[in-house]
């Protein structure tokens, strides 16, 4: 009997367009959830029980992606105020 592997989607599959459509509160909540998971995985890596090391890289990229978009929006807001003022 052949075994079929089912690939499950990651818990926090984050796309740039989805982040841009989120409210600030939702972005902060998602960021906090990802950071908590990242801390947990780092601990598992240090103990040696980590099953998917690629997940660390994915989570770090997601954190960077969220922070980058938040910073872009912050700068865009500042530029908009300067032009109008």
- Tell me how far apart the alpha carbons of residues 20 and 71 are, in angstroms, rounded to a whole number: 11
For the chain, what is the HEC assignment?
Answer: CCCCCCCCCCCCCCCHHHHHHCCHHHHHHHHHHHHHHHHHHHHHHHHCCCCCCHHHHHHHHHHHHHHHHHHHHHHHHHHHHHHHC
pLDDT at residue number 79: 73
Residue 49 sits at φ, ψ, to 5 deg, of -110, 15
CATH number of 16-84: 1.10.287.310
pLDDT, tens digit, for every residue of 25-84?
999 999 999 999 999 999 999 999 999 999 999 999 999 999 999 999 999 987 766 555
Global pTM?
0.77
> In the structure, what pLDDT confidence band is assigned to residue 85 with cuts at 50, 70 and 90?
very low
């Amino acid at each position: 009997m052949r075994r079929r592997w089912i690939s499950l989607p990651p818990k926090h599959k984050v796309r740039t367009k989805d982040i841009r459509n989120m409210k600030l509160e939702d972005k902060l909540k998602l960021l906090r959830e990802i950071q908590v998971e990242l801390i947990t995985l780092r601990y598992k890596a240090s103990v040696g029980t980590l099953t998917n090391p690629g997940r660390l890289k994915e989570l770090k990229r997601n954190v960077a992606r969220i922070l980058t978009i938040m910073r872009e929006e912050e700068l865009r807001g500042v530029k908009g105020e300067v032009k109008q003022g």
